[in-house]
Structure 1
Amino acid sequence: MPNVPFYPQEAYQCGPAALAGVLNYWGVQVSPADIAAEIFSAKAKGTLDIDMIFYAERKGLKAVQFKGNLDDLQRNIHSRNPLIVLVDYGFWVYEQDHFMVVVGYAKGGIIANSGKEKHKFIPLDNFLKTWERAKFWTLRVTPQ
């Protein structure tokens, strides 16, 4: 889905950047800075997933969080619904959570708007390992 807007994230701003891309895709004009001003937590050094859900709903969209799988990703991409996923790039007991927007898939991997990279190819085994550590957290935001 090449028409999903991409916003390079600032430090600890992956949630607002991912959410801004999906909201703008659905016609809700908002910047990552606008979102961060309302839901970013400096204390948590990030954005809580529940706040992302509530923010999308306040903007008039339907937001459904669920435990996803590869079939969900492929089905939603075919239906032109970008998905926000949470991955954990940490190790052992150290968590390093990161939100990204899955915009496509290709042989051997997924394509995501992530961090400062648009349409980043992530090998499937790397993606699945980090997504599993985040309990396959997935957010679908769509019009009501």
Structure 2
Amino acid sequence: MPGLALVLVLVLLSGCATQTTALRSAARTDLPRQVELKATPFIAQERYQCGPAALAMSLRAAGFAVDADALVPQVYLPQRQGSLQVEMLAAGRRNGAFSMPLPPRLDALLAEVAAGTPVLILQNLSLPIAPRWHYALVIGYDLDQGDIILRSGLTERMVMRMSTFEHTWARSNYWSMVTLAPGALPRTVAEAPAVDALVAYEKNSPPAQARKAYAAGLKRWPANMALALGLGNTAYAAGDRAAAAEAYQRASALHPDSSPAFNNLAVTLMELGRLPEARAAAEQAIALGGQWQAAARDTLASIEVAEKKRQH
């Protein structure tokens, strides 16, 4: 009896939605009551290919001219008739965007939408025992009405009860992600996952783009050594030795126990011809010991060769 089955699903989806209830009863003061990102592109999905369609919409909203068809071989798994979250994140980076998952909270999702970023989510639109997984793009909400607005499947503007949305979304453990232009960061992201995402982005991006991303991370978390080293490494890879030296100096000043910061600084200063400073940095890296000591000794040997050449 399909009618009865449908009624049963709707009843099960309309129960208590704890995040929705808490958010609507005591909404964050920094959240507007209603938001809709009407300019978000819409791409109707092909059969089983909601992943490529949702990701293409997300990337286009971030300024990347990407076709859903081009994403199919990157994310779609025919044997599963769908796409895995890890492939969605990787494909976002592969196409130039800084992509990362969001905290598994409804208020975090709404905060990103309020900041102007559509959020890609994964739902189970059926029962847990017979899942129907589906990717969609959240483009708006209405706290007063209790609605979520999505680009979903063949529907350009789907309005779903927030409580129903929470139930379908909870079955993916509240998984969501954003794709952003280099230099932008999610509003709600914490430091540790942001660093992980920035490192992953660097592996798939040209140095100039990764450099923008690291600079944005350092602006938000100025004391983070991994970000300072990442900024130095990407500046170095882009051929900007002066900027690389500045980043490494910052990292070594903030973290005077970091052998890699001092060794990288020594290498860069040597290439800039600043040999006395390079020697001091290499000697400090050696004095700190650890697994970088051998590399620092090699750096010091190179500096000594450069010093001898200068003397002749």
TM range (shorter): over 0.9
Is the helix fraction higher in 1 or 2?
2
| Alignment match, 1:96 | 132
Task: Give the unaligned 5+ runs of structure 2.
Answer: 1-36, 183-312
Which whole-Å CA distance do the structure 1 matches of 2:128 and 2:156 have between them? Answer: 29
Question: 89-98 or 13-22, which moves further after superposition?
Answer: 89-98
Deviations 1:93-131 (A, max 9, x none): 222111000000022110000010012100111101111
In structure 2, do the counterparts of structure 1 residues 73 and 92 end up closer, same or farther at CA, with 3 Å as the change threshold? Answer: closer
Q: Normalised by the size of structure 2, how large is the TM-score? A: 0.45
Deviations 1:64-85 (A, max 9, x none): 1134322112211111011001
User: Counterpart amino acid of 1:35?
Assistant: L
Q: Give, in angstroms, the shift of residue 36 of structure 1.
A: 0.6
Kindly report structure 1 stretches of 4+ aligned residues shifted beyond 2 Å.
none
- Which of 159, 165, 174 aligns to 1:127? It is 165
Structure 2: distance between partners of 1:119 and 1:45 = 24
Between the aligned partners of 2:151 and 2:69, the Cα distance in structure 1 is 17
Larger Rg belongs to: 2
Q: Which residue in 2 is equivalent to 1:39?
A: 75
Shift of 1:33: 0.8
C-alpha RMSD of matched pairs (Å): 1.1
Q: Is the 8 A contact 1:12 1:46 kept in 2?
A: yes
Letter of the 2:93 counterpart: E
Amino-acid identity (%) = 28
Larger proportion of strand: 1
SS in 1 for 2:109: helix
Q: CA separation in 2, counterparts of 1:7 and 1:68?
A: 26
Contact 1:89 1:96 in 2 (8 A): yes
TM-score (norm. length: structure 1): 0.95
The reply to whether residue 111 of structure 1 matches residue 188 of structure 2 is no
| 3-state SS of 2:89 partner | helix
SS in 2 for 1:93: coil
Shift of 1:15: 0.5
5+ long unaligned stretches in structure 1:
none
Name 1:142's counterpart in structure 2: 180
- Alignment of 1:81 with 2:121, yes or no, is no
| Greater RCO (CA < 8 Å, at least 6 residues apart) | 1
1:50 to 66, 69, 86: 86
Structure 2 equivalent of residue 10 of structure 1: 46
Could you tell me which amino acid in structure 1 is paired with residue 160 of structure 2? I
